[in-house]
Amino acid sequence: MSKPGLAAESEHWDLVLKPQTSLFRLNFRDVWAYRDLLWLLVRRDFVSFYKQTVLGPIWFFIQPLFTTFIYTFIFGGLAKISTGSVPGPLFYMAGITCWNYFSDCITKTSTVFKDNANIFGKVYFPRLIMPLSLVLSNLVRFAVQMILFLMAMAWFYWGRGMHGFHITSYIVLFPLIVALMALQGLGLGMIVTALTTRYRDLALLVVFGVQLMMYGTTVVYPLTTVIQKYPQISWLVTYNPMTEVIEIFRLGFLGEGTFSWGLLGYAVAVTLVMLFAGIFTFNKIERSFVDTV
């Protein structure tokens, strides 16, 4: 007869489930172990969103084109807001491309707990996979809209002969600003989704709030215009972490924008604060959200 201790020592488990001990625990090892599930969720989010639509993925192109047309008419035509030497449609499309990715990350991540309560209550997997899958699936949409933006640049340069814009060396910062947009959206989204498990009203305010936030960035106007015309409140726009992201994007691809290492460092610092605040609230609510959702 074998002893219980020897039997326990002879057992080897592939996976051991343990409770989380830290509110700041990311547990990338588990996320990597479930990378196949992450890929399936990314594919599901991308396919299901347009599966029953008439135009399908063409909406990726229609939405930024239509929004660019509206902004060009209202802010460029009626409000007469100068975009410098850059054609208005390119100026607005650059801001729209960045803002769409950031706002999609927030709005879709903000309902993770509510939308997946049934799954979370039945099967184990790293909960962080859900918000990560949304950020990655939105990255596919961002890539498609970037292709549209580059096509528009080529059309204005060679088709229309407008040479008032040019690519600069700041384009090397493109991977960094994409990461900043993703992490800001992920951090804020995780904070909101954690809070909406207790306060359902927040879910109704997210879309409206994101739309208001857009006008606090330089999506539809240059930062220099705000500083010159409204110096008293220009700091609100200047210290919005998304402002520096959009300014660097325009400066790299269009040669029109502002850059400051100080503001870039500030944007990185605020992004990290948002991310860790999101991780903290996400991990804290994750322990008991099934009882409140």
Check whether 207 has a pLDDT greater than 60: yes
For residue range 78-93, list pLDDT tens digits in order: 888 888 889 999 999 9
Band of pLDDT at residue 121, cut at 50, 70 and 90: low
Q: How far apart are CA 33 and CA 4, in angstroms?
A: 31
Q: How far apart are CA 201 and CA 224, in angstroms?
A: 37
User: Are 260 and 227 in contact, with CB atoms under 8 Å apart?
Assistant: no
pLDDT of amino acid 84: 82
pLDDT of amino acid 14: 67
Mean pLDDT in residue range 263-275: 94
pLDDT of amino acid 7: 47
Mean pLDDT in residue range 251-274: 93
Check whether 232 has a pLDDT greater than 80: yes
Mean pLDDT in residue range 111-140: 79
Q: How far apart are CA 59 and CA 114, in angstroms?
A: 26
Write down the H helix ranges in 110-128: 112-115, 117-120
